[in-house]
Structure 1
Amino acid sequence: MKTTKAGRPARAGSSPAAEVTMIQTTDVAELPAPPRPWWRRVDALDWVRVGLLVGGVLAVALGLLPRADARETVERILPLLIFLGAVIILAELAARAQVFDVIAARITIAARGSNLALFALCLLFAAATTIFLNLDTTAVLLTPVMLATAVRAGVPALPLAMTTVWLANTASLLLPVSNLTNLLAMNRVQLSPLEFAARMALPQLGALLVVAGCLWLFYWRRSPARYEPPAPVKPVDRRLFIAGSAACAVFILGVITGLSIYWVAPLCAVAVVVAFAVWRRAELSWKLLPWRLLVFVTGLFLVVDTIGRHGLSDWMTALIGTDPGDEGVIRAAAAGGVLSNVLNNLPVYLAGEAVVPVANHDQLLGLLIGTNVGPLITPWASLATLIWAESCTSAGLKIQWGRFMLAGTVTAVLTFAASVGGLLLSIHL
């Protein structure tokens, strides 16, 4: 029987040229694909992060941002960077200690196999965590819980992940403790915590109702109506589970009791690192450090400070205006929401606060709403979204950023309308 050079039988009626073509095609297909260049393996957001840092360093080197101002900026954000690094390490090691697996199993069991009940529980859990703690705590500690919940329930992870990030950003209006910008605004408008909550109750209610509807429409309704509740989880290493649980509990208690998060978070992270060093040293590596987030934050503040010295304040005044009435509230909220998605909500709030007249309390609250509920479109719009994205990446959940931005745009516009409308209604009641 006639055979090819590869030892395979030739097909009847095939020509030598066809045999050669078949052999060559097969051999080429079996060769391993050449590795892609390193610059093609880098995530697009990584280019943005590094680009911001390079831009900030160049601004200092070229004199666009004086060295003294740059040093002051770095000294101001250094505690923030330490806090962010510490809480991310704390959350990552707590996840490896199965703290979140245990919580996730209890949530899925409590929902009794109903997708609708699971949606309601996750919504309430995320909203309560953000309102009574703060949005960064939700992003850091709740994201792994939601992702583990999806695994335990055998349901898609994306709806639970989106619940976390959208509620982290939009459920932070009610209490001053919910957001750093709330604390800054409360001092400016001279409201007590209860007075602040009373003024922001309608905006918060409107935001929650709209976000719940959009979450169901865009993500949850496609999930199966029923799932099989999992069995309770027993930690593999009970010592690490206890250490991780205790560290998370101390961190949350520290936030609730008003202790400085800038030393509570590092202490809790160190405690868990020590526990892993004693009982599971192989889990510790430099990959735990969230370098992407730290690079982004540093570059962002340097770039925003540079822009501020070259006309940002004048531009913000032109956008926001000085009208103390309804028009001023709407303009401030719209400017805050749009610019938060272009830059980041924290520097945008600070830039806007600097140009809002001190007497315009309602206008400042409008700016606060815009910078709190608006950052739903771009992944860099808030630190909570950045922290959430880091957790999703660590868990292997790939986010389709095009869909993220499209759904976020619709939700941001509707949430903006509901929350600003609630503020205007509370003003005129």
Structure 2
Amino acid sequence: MPVLDLVAVAALLALLVVAYRHPPRLVEALVSVGASVLVLATGLVGVGHARDTVVELAPVVAFLVAILVVAQVCGRAGLFTAAGSLLRGGGAVRLLTVAFLLAAAVTAVLSLDATVVLLTPVVVAAAASSGVPSRPAAYACLRMANSASLLLPVSNLTNLLALPSLGLTFAGFAATMAPVLVVVLLVEYAGLRLLFRRELAVPARPAPTDPVPLPVVPASVVGLMLAGFAATSPLGVDPCWVAGAAAVVLVVWAHRRGLLGLGDAVTAAHPEFALLVLSLGVVVAAIADGFLGDAVDHLVPSTTSYVALLVIAVLATVLANVLTNLSATLLLVPLVAPLGDVAVLAALIGLNVGSGLTLSGSLANLLWRRTLRDVTAPADRTDEDERTTSLAEFHRVSLLLTPVSLVAAVSALFLVT
């Protein structure tokens, strides 16, 4: 391996460490800028190539910023608490089922980060108030954060990054992936019922069942935003404009009601993470032009047979769990795009469903584990809390469910395309 390629790998590792560890915002921003400057200074990627990469990623990053703000306003306005009121009452099976469906819906519409950061604590609190184990429903949130992001182009940054390589509109993407998602949901739900059958046998204790009023404005804006995605996609309008308009409306509404200050809106947008994504694009462009890009290119099949689609999905899974799914998307999608839409969609199955295989596969996995640890103070954690967030438990669930879901999803994709 050439020495300069090692420099690119070191820059990527630095970015991944930052993504995993979440240091102070300034540190994250400085590392991101430093990694980009490093690969530019060494000539691993040209200024023109880097500029083109940033321009290509800009709409995706703008969407990320907007949707994070939308989710934050919805959380402060009580949208997730209102949804969580549906979880109270009934036993552990009902809690799992409702949490599973809610998590799938939140992921599809508001992205996986909203599911792991905002919905998961609500689900855990509902389990505590009902006197049932929280682990099944908490894992429903985790699994849906990755798997349910198959449905819409806006459900995951991986989808948005791949969208320019697809000849599909917003509605066309959803129509193609909907049957695939249905199969994945059936597999995941059956798997969770089986894996947590003992916890699901615990009866619930009486709990308040009065519904919490749904905040009308945030719910309406989110609904209109989703409709806007579908309506403007055939016109070539990037989703970032629709999400940005929704974010502006909600920030103004929340500010007038004292729910959110302008500084809070900037914080919710996580500009340092946006910078990290742009830097990842530049660094991965350098790696793709080097040894790793050549190695992966040789592994990409030349057809779209059933076996070939499985190979693409498995390759995407491996790359996602080694590089994180965002980096893997930037590397793999351009290589499989010449094979057509079905090959790109197979890659997305590996990049979304497959990223749930290990803790490093998706940033959502790390955020989910951190969120659960933040829900309770160390002194208040129970044995169940410790087991839920343990690496052994995480990988017990993921290693049993992910391969089955992956094969089922590819099989469904092959049948519907």
Question: One fold, TM greater than 0.5?
Answer: yes
CA contact (8 A) 1:138 1:164 kept: no
The alignment status of 1:69 with 2:49, answered yes or no, reads: yes
Q: 1:274 matched to which residue of 2? A: 252
| Residues in 2 aligned to 1:300 and 1:377: alpha-carbon distance in whole angstroms | 22
Deviation at 1:345, TM superposition (A): 3.0
Which residue of 403, 406, 413 maps to 1:416? 406
After superposition, give the CA deviation of every residue in 1:35-81 in whole Å (9 maximum; x if it has no partner): xxxxxxx9952269945664333212332222222222223323322
How large is the RMSD of aligned CA atoms in angstroms?
Answer: 4.2
Q: Percent identity?
A: 28
Indicate the larger mover: 93-102 or 143-152: 143-152
Which residue of 164, 168, 175 maps to 2:141? 164
Deviation at 1:307, TM superposition (A): 0.4
Written as runs of structure 1 = structure 2, the 5 A alignment for 1:245-256 is 245-256=219-230
Distance 1:197 1:221, change over 3 A: farther
Structure number with the higher helix fraction is: 2
After superposition, give the CA deviation of every residue in 1:363-395 in whole Å (9 maximum; x if it has no partner): 444333322321103455346657767876886
Deviation at 1:339, TM superposition (A): 0.5
**3-state SS of the aligned residue for 1:69?**
helix
| Residues in 1 aligned to 2:349 and 2:78: alpha-carbon distance in whole angstroms | 36
The alignment status of 1:375 with 2:352, answered yes or no, reads: no
**3-state SS of the aligned residue for 2:207?**
coil
| Residues in 1 aligned to 2:75 and 2:149: alpha-carbon distance in whole angstroms | 25
Which residue of 285, 308, 325 maps to 2:288? 308
Indicate the larger mover: 357-366 or 346-355: 357-366
Distance 1:408 1:297, change over 3 A: farther
After superposition, give the CA deviation of every residue in 1:169-205 in whole Å (9 maximum; x if it has no partner): 2234466676676688798786799987787666444
The alignment status of 1:94 with 2:74, answered yes or no, reads: yes
CA contact (8 A) 2:111 2:156 kept: no
Amino acid at match of 2:239: I
Q: 1:209 matched to which residue of 2? A: 186
Amino acid at match of 1:372: N
Distance 1:90 1:118, change over 3 A: same
Distance 1:395 1:299, change over 3 A: farther
Deviation at 1:163, TM superposition (A): 1.9
The alignment status of 1:126 with 2:114, answered yes or no, reads: no
| Residues in 2 aligned to 1:252 and 1:145: alpha-carbon distance in whole angstroms | 19
Which residue of 305, 308, 311 maps to 1:325? 305
Amino acid at match of 1:45: R
CA contact (8 A) 1:293 1:387 kept: no
CA contact (8 A) 2:19 2:363 kept: no
Deviation at 1:210, TM superposition (A): 2.6
Indicate the larger mover: 166-175 or 58-67: 166-175
CA contact (8 A) 2:124 2:134 kept: yes
| Residues in 2 aligned to 1:291 and 1:170: alpha-carbon distance in whole angstroms | 26
After superposition, give the CA deviation of every residue in 1:214-255 in whole Å (9 maximum; x if it has no partner): 3335557526431433243557xx9xx454444434333333
CA contact (8 A) 1:81 1:294 kept: yes
Which residue of 142, 150, 153 maps to 2:124? 150
After superposition, give the CA deviation of every residue in 1:1-54 in whole Å (9 maximum; x if it has no partner): xxxxxxxxxxxxxxxxxxxxxxxxxxxxxxxxxxxxxxxxx9952269945664
The alignment status of 1:356 with 2:336, answered yes or no, reads: yes
| Residues in 2 aligned to 1:61 and 1:413: alpha-carbon distance in whole angstroms | 41
Q: 2:207 matched to which residue of 1? A: 229
| Residues in 1 aligned to 2:243 and 2:369: alpha-carbon distance in whole angstroms | 20
Q: 1:137 matched to which residue of 2? A: 111
Distance 1:102 1:184, change over 3 A: closer
| Residues in 2 aligned to 1:257 and 1:83: alpha-carbon distance in whole angstroms | 17
Larger radius of gyration: 1
| Residues in 1 aligned to 2:63 and 2:168: alpha-carbon distance in whole angstroms | 28
**3-state SS of the aligned residue for 1:171?**
helix
After superposition, give the CA deviation of every residue in 1:272-294 in whole Å (9 maximum; x if it has no partner): 33334333278654643425633
Amino acid at match of 1:46: H
**3-state SS of the aligned residue for 1:356?**
helix
Q: 1:108 matched to which residue of 2? A: 87
| Residues in 2 aligned to 1:194 and 1:231: alpha-carbon distance in whole angstroms | 37
Deviation at 1:328, TM superposition (A): 2.2
Amino acid at match of 1:312: L
The alignment status of 1:262 with 2:262, answered yes or no, reads: no
Unaligned runs of 5+ in 1: 1-41
Deviation at 1:151, TM superposition (A): 1.9
CA contact (8 A) 2:116 2:371 kept: no
TM-score for both structures, normalised by structure 2: 0.72
| Residues in 2 aligned to 1:310 and 1:113: alpha-carbon distance in whole angstroms | 56
CA contact (8 A) 2:87 2:94 kept: no
CA contact (8 A) 2:158 2:325 kept: no
Deviation at 1:335, TM superposition (A): 0.5
Distance 1:46 1:324, change over 3 A: same
The alignment status of 1:46 with 2:22, answered yes or no, reads: yes
Equivalences, count = 376
CA contact (8 A) 1:119 1:220 kept: no
Distance 1:280 1:203, change over 3 A: closer
CA contact (8 A) 1:176 1:183 kept: yes
| Residues in 2 aligned to 1:92 and 1:279: alpha-carbon distance in whole angstroms | 15
**3-state SS of the aligned residue for 2:298?**
helix
| Residues in 1 aligned to 2:167 and 2:39: alpha-carbon distance in whole angstroms | 37
